[in-house]
Amino acid sequence: MSTVAKAARARAARAFAGVPAAVATTIAAAWALAIAAEAAGGALLHNPVATGAAETELQNRSPITLLCPLHLAAGGGSGLHVDHATAAGSFWLTFALFLIAWQAMIAAMMLPSSLPLMRLFNLASSGAPSHRRAIVAFLSGYALIWSAFGAAAFAGDALLHHLVADNAELRAHTSTVAAGLLALAGAVQFSPLTNRCLTECRHPGAFLMRHYRRGVGAAFTLGRRHGLFCLGCCWALMLVMFVAGVASLTWMGALTVLMLYEKTAARGARAAPVAGIALLASAAVVLVHPDGLPATLGAG
């Protein structure tokens, strides 16, 4: 094994040291699911049944978007033609399926940056008789915040797709929507709210000392509070996933690394403005040249 590989393995081991096995397993399973879905989507794209213009249209999309209920509910975001009446009739089923997929995305992208707090919480609550239930309650409170955000984003994205589908002017300038969301994510990186929330996330020890209380109910409240700060610094970055195809592995990986570095690295504070500039530059590229980022933004 090379020196670089050994160092990476050692860093991974340190990151997960002291983390409940269930949490580590959840993160690993979420990434395995995303990779499997990408592979299945790729197989669907190359199905010999798809021919001609339909095949070209499908291949311009990230494979995983074909499996995403969000785009089916929105009626055409995946590049497939969906009957709006059928989509409306199955909206709530689609919504439930989306929330399940959203939980997997949150586990894959957000939980890694919460590992430092999870380690400390696991240590602090290890002597309590309801230790395992406290862990579950903490994660439930955290998931509640992100589920509420996912539900709101789902509704907004579905509405946006319907507006685009019904408006010829919007259909002719869909890249403006993508550029707008990228610009929003970039601008938010410079906001006082993002800085405040990142500061809370970068000091899990101080956060735990201020807010930790024993008990399952207190654990749920702590997880919810941590989720709010996590949401405060990452909500705009997660919206980028709706532009990229909801679960594009390229953007999932890039944003996970960014959020992990911002929250846990010694120089994480320097990453936020750099990421902001990169996102604003990407917005400008997409706005001026919609096909400028075809590999990551579905060719506009």
Residue 102 CB coordination number (10 Å): 25
Instruction: Name the residue among 129, 148, 140 with its Cα closest to residue 22.
Output: 140
Q: Which long-range contacts (CB under 8 A, 24 or more apart) does 111-115 make?
A: 111/23, 111/26, 111/27, 111/30, 112/15, 112/27, 112/256, 112/260, 113/201, 113/230, 113/256, 113/259, 113/260, 113/262, 113/263, 113/264, 114/142, 114/226, 114/230, 115/15, 115/16, 115/19, 115/23, 115/264
Show the tokens assigned to 96: 């439930």
pTM score, two decimals? 0.78
Q: What is the mean pLDDT of residues 263-272?
A: 89
Say whether pLDDT at 206 is over 60: yes
Give residue 26's pLDDT band: very low, low, confident or very high (50, 70, 90). confident
Show the tokens assigned to 187: 């601008």
**What's the pLDDT at 5?**
55
Q: What is the DSSP letter of 237?
A: H
Say whether pLDDT at 35 is over 90: no
Reduced to 3 states (helix: H, G, I; strand: E, B; else coil), residue 151 is helix
User: Model confidence over 73-99: pLDDT tens digits?
Assistant: 333 333 334 445 554 556 677 778 778
Give residue 256's pLDDT band: very low, low, confident or very high (50, 70, 90). very high
User: Model confidence over 134-192: pLDDT tens digits?
Assistant: 999 999 999 999 999 999 988 887 787 777 777 777 666 677 888 888 999 999 999 99
**Cα–Cα dist 55/155, whole Å:** 29
**What's the pLDDT at 227?**
97
**What's the pLDDT at 236?**
94
**What's the pLDDT at 99?**
83
**What's the pLDDT at 9?**
55
